[in-house]
């Protein structure tokens, strides 16, 4: 009895606690990460802005309730929300894409999404954006605007079309490789073995980690600020000195730790088929 109630508590409290993460909707100062790449997200939900002479690209939209904060952040940098030309996403979960339709409608920007995430993005199920995708991306496709080029790497598993974005920025004559991790995490309740909706899920995670380990990295970034220590690095940056977001060692350690966690969970589920991730 005790065990069952504990299990129920974990099952229901997990997603509930995650939804109540106060940092998701908390204002955070917009700032330049490097070159023409900027943070315009909340205190945890990443929104990246790439400023070009032909308008701006943004990666992620967060929830509709976060759009006023994003708009404020963009304008605090001296840019215009209405100059948003292209919307990209880390993956098709509400904390990153629920407002893509809102931003598309506000700005007329084109929405470009990895092929396997398109059905989720276009879905009108509760909480899904129901937004028409203007360009379907394949693994390795590039998105170009005003001299900036981003590459879409399929790092699936977390969702079927989970995307890690890379680009090179020019920081005072130095070329920096930015990597924006889509998500290497296994969410609570996810089945890695015998998943009828997503039979190749575990194999996709394996491939995704291989891709993440192969990318050249200077600027370590991701879909949530928590992946790469946004707050601590931002504070450090304000103090001057070398750019703390240049953190290839932190990236390597993070990816290795996440891979080990995934592999451990996969092994556990192989021995206990049908039991979702904790």
Task: Provide the binding-site residues for Zn ion, judged by CB under 5 A.
Answer: 93
**Partner residues linked to 52 by β-bridges:** 55
Q: How far apart are CB 264 and Zn ion at their closest, in Å?
A: 20
Which CB sits closer to Zn ion, 93 or 104?
93
Give the whole-angstrom CA distance, residue 91 versus residue 103. 16
Which CB sits closer to Zn ion, 93 or 258?
93
Which CB sits closer to Zn ion, 71 or 128?
128
Which CB sits closer to Zn ion, 93 or 190?
93
Residue sitting closest to Zn ion (CB): 93
Q: How far apart are CB 124 and Zn ion at their closest, in Å?
A: 19
Q: How far apart are CB 223 and Zn ion at their closest, in Å?
A: 7
Q: How far apart are CB 158 and Zn ion at their closest, in Å?
A: 6
Q: How far apart are CB 32 and Zn ion at their closest, in Å?
A: 26
Which CB sits closer to Zn ion, 18 or 260?
18
């Amino acid at each position: 009895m005790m065990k069952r109630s504990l299990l129920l508590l974990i099952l229901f409290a997990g997603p509930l606690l995650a939804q109540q993460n106060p940092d998701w909707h908390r204002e955070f100062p917009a700032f330049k990460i490097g070159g023409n790449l900027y943070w315009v997200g909340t205190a945890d939900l990443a929104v990246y802005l790439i400023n070009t002479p032909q308008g701006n690209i943004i990666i992620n939209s967060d929830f509709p309730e976060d759009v006023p904060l994003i708009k404020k952040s963009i304008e605090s940098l001296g840019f215009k929300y209405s100059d948003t030309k292209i919307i990209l996403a880390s993956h098709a979960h509400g904390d990153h894409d629920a407002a893509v339709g809102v931003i598309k409608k506000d700005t007329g920007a084109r929405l470009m999404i990895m092929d396997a995430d398109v059905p989720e993005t276009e879905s009108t199920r509760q909480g899904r954006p129901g937004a028409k995708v203007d360009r379907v991306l394949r693994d390795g496709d590039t998105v170009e605007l005003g001299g900036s080029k981003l590459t879409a790497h399929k790092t699936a598993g977390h969702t079927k079309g989970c995307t890690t974005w890379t680009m090179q920025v020019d920081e005072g004559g130095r070329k920096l490789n930015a990597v924006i991790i889509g998500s290497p995490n296994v969410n609570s309740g996810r089945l890695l073995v015998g998943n009828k909706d997503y039979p190749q899920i575990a194999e996709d995670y394996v491939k995704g980690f291989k891709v993440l380990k192969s990318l050249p990295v200077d600027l370590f970034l991701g879909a949530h600020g928590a992946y790469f220590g946004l707050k601590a690095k931002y504070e450090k940056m304000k103090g001057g000195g070398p750019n703390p977001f240049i953190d290839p060692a932190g990236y390597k350690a993070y990816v290795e730790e996440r891979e080990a966690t995934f592999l451990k969970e996969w092994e556990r589920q192989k021995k206990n088929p049908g039991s979702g991730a904790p």
